[in-house]
Structure 1
């Protein structure tokens, strides 16, 4: 150890002077061999001082230098370490650098260690070998990205490249994308630009969204630290991309529909959420679309009203922002069945005497599936309905079972599964007439050998009018009925005589005839149609003079055939059944014979001059007689006598007076005074029940009452008030 002035070591002074001399000198490296040495950052490296190894003598001093290290200047030399008289000094970062003999050791290496390392031993001016040490590491941090331009889905970025590539070529850049203004850099998206260029257009961004970006440089050793984040930016608006989610749709009534939905995700709205647009139209229609705008984004349901009944609607709902409406969410809904409109063109197709046939056209607006129609028909206080099940465009329906000649008010309603429709226009129709009831024979006389006179009562039941009569007659066993037609005059005729009478001539004397009659009524709708009434009871006569006095049994016809038919059945059925049926048939024939004896009018045996003359008809210039009147026909007979101002009563009474011009005999009563003119009168059930005295005021009262007492008379009928003198005291006189 050397000692200097004031106790200062002389070697230390020399070292400082050596460093100072090297610090201000630049080593000439031209022509010096350069050895490349590459090492990754973080590892260790040792550099040998070749000058010390090849000097051949003792090395007293070594100076390690680095050009371009620890500086941004590539020409600046930095003294790293010195060796002077066995004193080892580390000038730069002694925590990482050290001496190992004459070698310089660096561990761990960092990127700023890169440079040209060389050593100068002793008094040499230039080194024998230069180490080009390259410490490789990831690139340095790129500059902050700048927003150059942007639209709704993309942004154009630019940034400064890394200052130091750290001895490794740049491969590419990566960009980190952060979405949201309040988000942190813990959840971001990284994309690779695939380029060494320091600018890039980021696409596929969300419209109307805030973004921030960071740049990263990448070499083969890895990515650099990320750059500072860019300033926040927001992409532009565009129409919404999301659709509402339709949860439920249903019809509330025949003209309203309820729709409910959920909004789309917020990131699909792409702008300020300002509401919804709801549109609807009938399915299949190209135009006439209706729409409504809902400006409350919180709304999630809406009711469509004033719709057409039973109609399918295409309903769409869209989200709206300032740029417009998004894609529609659509659904098809049908309104409920409504009230059908009125059937059209109601008309009567045909009319019968018990109903009618209607025809109409289906409603213009069915408002549902037409199930059928109800025909309402009313008359007076009676209302009924008939259901016609049909869905055809043109419908025909029949209503039957009605009364003849009755006016009905008619309208039709369509119906569906939900409602009954509106009524059609009213029409009125009257059912056609029907045939009258059976006429009832009131008089039958035979004024001549080959003629018969018939008189009958007008049927009590008829419809609208009786327009004609037909009298049918035939001989016994004849196949064809002959007929006589009688046209009834109009009701307002005051000159015509009653039509309920006829004289049938040209009969075969001695032949048995069957006769019946029926009334006819003219159809109101068909000119060629007359409705026949019920047949009257068939009567049987024997043609000839006074044929009404000869009884003919109606059992003569049909008995043989009926008996023979039963006889065959009895043969097939057995002898016992034959006997029973035979007895029944004989009993029936006997009963009918007795019954018919009461139906024929058997007048009392009188001379021709005793017959009553008919007041209203003369036949063959001969008077015709009149038989007794049945009880059930007495009212009609009296009504007939009242016609033509009671001319019937007057004529008949005059005939009685003329026929009473003789002095009659009381059968079985020889004590009657000869001055008392009387004759017997038959009833419809028995003979000689009445005694007729045409002029009682000419008879002595004593004789009159003697005759009454002896004849057993129980009832007196007076037709003249001059009989009062014949009444005993205390007798009440009934006019």
Structure 2
């Protein structure tokens, strides 16, 4: 569209050739609010440079430097050489309107969040008003309309737009008299990275799997081609804060088109960080969430004995342990420990007791001296379940204590110079027998003692009994006999002595009464 600030007047001079024309007067009148104003615009000599003669009969006159966007009434008066006018033969009046299209708009350039408008400026339009051009931008998706004024010196950038949105771009010029639409086009803004995922839900479905669901972004900003889901192991729940941040460095990434994902082969009883983000032409912001996998139904951890904590006494055993050698092996909550104590010494066989401990320590106070025990410690879930295949098994023996009296002590004489004795060991023994001391004395005479080793004199006729013979005794004499069982700690004697008269065949004496202990 041509851009001019002029009116072109075509002079049809047919039938006027009888006169010799000297010049032409062009009279313009413009319509204003205060009435019509008539001005003499130009008197032009024929054949001058201001008149464009196309042929002998037609002359085109171009009137320049008019006011833009103005309606003009044009009247032409002819003059001869003697300056006589030929108004009766005037060219008929014409109505002409100047225009002011001093810019040519280029096709809009769309970005993701902007539309840039630029143009070419024509020199002859430099007198046009600079504030009469406006751009209207509207979108049917959000029912909004924006208007911005164009400045001829710089391109206009419409900012703050929505990506991947159809906008209507309209260019208009405004005057006091009318409005003219010069350009209209639909422009799609480009795609951009999507907005934040609306919501993220992560559910632990087992000890080793997670189910992840999310909603599409409220502002997709384009066509989402896929979602990127990544996970990272963020720590073992069985490791305390004091142990520091311990993780197995495992991580993984998935690309899916759906809004749901099931992840498997994870570590039980662990903390994971899940991150989801969408992709169009670029990745959008990520949404993150932390979740914990379930604990195992049965404990997978084996308690470990703290050897330096063991304290053993005749009637008690004390020790401590820790949940596992490595905190990474702990796969669930340990609410309590089950402690199973069973005696394995002959006098304690069949005794089995179960205890529960809220802490990783145990003080067994029902022990028997000089007795071996098998002790098992098992971790326990809050449900009360234990794993019999994951137990700490130890064998401990209590220390010795003051020895009990011998049992079933019997003395008899079958000859003139000797006395025989037999007895059974105390039960339970409370210690290891090293030797027996046999004290005997004739009434109103000095005491004699013999010592025998605990296992050196088994009885040939009586099982599980010890036999000894006192020799070189005086015939027909009465002896007091006191067997003493000794070990490293102390000894035990009988309250009542045996009195037996030597050389009285088949004469037996049996012990009786209760025992008391003497310090050695």
TM bin, normalised by shorter chain, reads 0.5 to 0.7
Aligned residue for 2:396? 429
Q: 1:306 to 1:486 in 2, by over 3 A?
A: farther
How far apart, CA to CA, are the structure 1 residues paired with 2:283 and 2:39?
Answer: 79
Contact 2:194 2:224 in 1 (8 A): no
1:244 aligns with one of 197, 203, 213: 197
Deviation at 1:75, TM superposition (A): 3.7
Higher helix share: 1
| CA deviation profile, 1:179-206 (whole Å, cap 9, x unmatched) | 5xxx59x945334255124843444444
How far apart, CA to CA, are the structure 1 residues paired with 2:38 and 2:494?
Answer: 160
Contact 1:359 1:396 in 2 (8 A): yes
- 1:225 paired to 2:180: yes
RMSD of aligned Cα (Å): 5.5
Contact 2:435 2:454 in 1 (8 A): no
1:307 aligns with one of 257, 262, 266: 266
Aligned residue for 2:8? none
2:182 aligns to what SS in structure 1? Answer: coil
| CA deviation profile, 1:417-443 (whole Å, cap 9, x unmatched) | 356466245333344555334556656
| CA deviation profile, 1:201-260 (whole Å, cap 9, x unmatched) | 4444444444452222345x388433332364552x44x231213343343344333333
1:331 aligns to what SS in structure 2? Answer: strand
Higher strand share: 2
Q: Which has the higher contact order (CA 8 A, sep 6+)?
A: 2
1:288 aligns with one of 249, 257, 262: 249
Q: Rg larger in 1 or in 2?
A: 1
Deviation at 1:358, TM superposition (A): 3.4
Q: Following superposition of structure 1 onto structure 2, how do residues 157-556 of structure 1 map, counting pairs within 5 Å?
A: 157-159=117-119, 169-171=129-131, 173-179=133-139, 187=143, 189-197=145-153, 199-218=155-174, 221=176, 224-230=179-185, 232-233=187-188, 235=190, 237-238=191-192, 240-265=193-218, 267-282=219-234, 288=249, 290-297=251-258, 299=259, 301-321=260-280, 323-338=281-296, 339-345=299-305, 347=307, 349-363=310-324, 364=326, 365-379=329-343, 383-390=352-359, 395-417=360-382, 420=386, 423-432=390-399, 435-437=403-405, 442=410, 457-459=423-425, 461-463=427-429, 466-468=433-435, 487-493=451-457, 498=467, 519-520=485-486, 522=487, 528-530=488-490, 532-533=491-492, 536-538=494-496
Contact 1:458 1:500 in 2 (8 A): no
Q: 1:311 to 1:500 in 2, by over 3 A?
A: farther
Deviation at 1:491, TM superposition (A): 1.7
**Consecutive unaligned residues in structure 2, runs of 5 or more:** 1-13, 41-59, 88-94, 236-244, 344-348, 414-418, 441-446, 461-465, 474-479, 514-520
Aligned residue for 2:9? none
Deviation at 1:293, TM superposition (A): 1.9
How far apart, CA to CA, are the structure 1 residues paired with 2:311 and 2:278?
Answer: 62
Q: 1:439 to 1:139 in 2, by over 3 A?
A: same
Deviation at 1:290, TM superposition (A): 1.8
Deviation at 1:401, TM superposition (A): 1.2
1:341 aligns to what SS in structure 2? Answer: coil
2:181 aligns to what SS in structure 1? Answer: coil
Contact 2:70 2:97 in 1 (8 A): no
How far apart, CA to CA, are the structure 2 residues paired with 1:529 and 1:258?
Answer: 68
How far apart, CA to CA, are the structure 1 residues paired with 2:495 and 2:69?
Answer: 145
| CA deviation profile, 1:465-524 (whole Å, cap 9, x unmatched) | 543457899xxxxxxxxx9987541425569983598999xxxxxxxxx9987644x4xx
Deviation at 1:330, TM superposition (A): 0.7
Q: 1:612 to 1:490 in 2, by over 3 A?
A: closer
Deviation at 1:329, TM superposition (A): 0.2
Deviation at 1:411, TM superposition (A): 2.9
| CA deviation profile, 1:18-60 (whole Å, cap 9, x unmatched) | x9879x9796559x9x9x9772xxx67345899xxxxxxxxxx
Contact 1:173 1:194 in 2 (8 A): yes
Q: 1:277 to 1:315 in 2, by over 3 A?
A: closer
Q: Following superposition of structure 1 onto structure 2, how do residues 597-616 of structure 1 map, counting pairs within 5 Å?
A: 612-613=502-503
How far apart, CA to CA, are the structure 2 residues paired with 1:232 and 1:382?
Answer: 91
Aligned residue for 2:476? none
| Count of residues in correspondence between the two structures | 421
How far apart, CA to CA, are the structure 2 residues paired with 1:440 and 1:286?
Answer: 67
How far apart, CA to CA, are the structure 1 residues paired with 2:399 and 2:97?
Answer: 122
Aligned residue for 1:97? none
| CA deviation profile, 1:392-450 (whole Å, cap 9, x unmatched) | xxx543323134555433332223535646624533334455533455665699xxxxx
Q: 1:411 to 1:630 in 2, by over 3 A?
A: closer
**Consecutive unaligned residues in structure 1, runs of 5 or more:** 1-18, 51-71, 77-109, 128-133, 446-452, 474-482, 505-513, 523-527, 542-547, 549-600, 602-610, 616-625, 634-735
Aligned residue for 1:719? none
Contact 1:472 1:516 in 2 (8 A): yes
Q: 1:143 to 1:466 in 2, by over 3 A?
A: same
Aligned residue for 1:102? none
- 1:45 paired to 2:47: no
Q: 1:305 to 1:138 in 2, by over 3 A?
A: farther
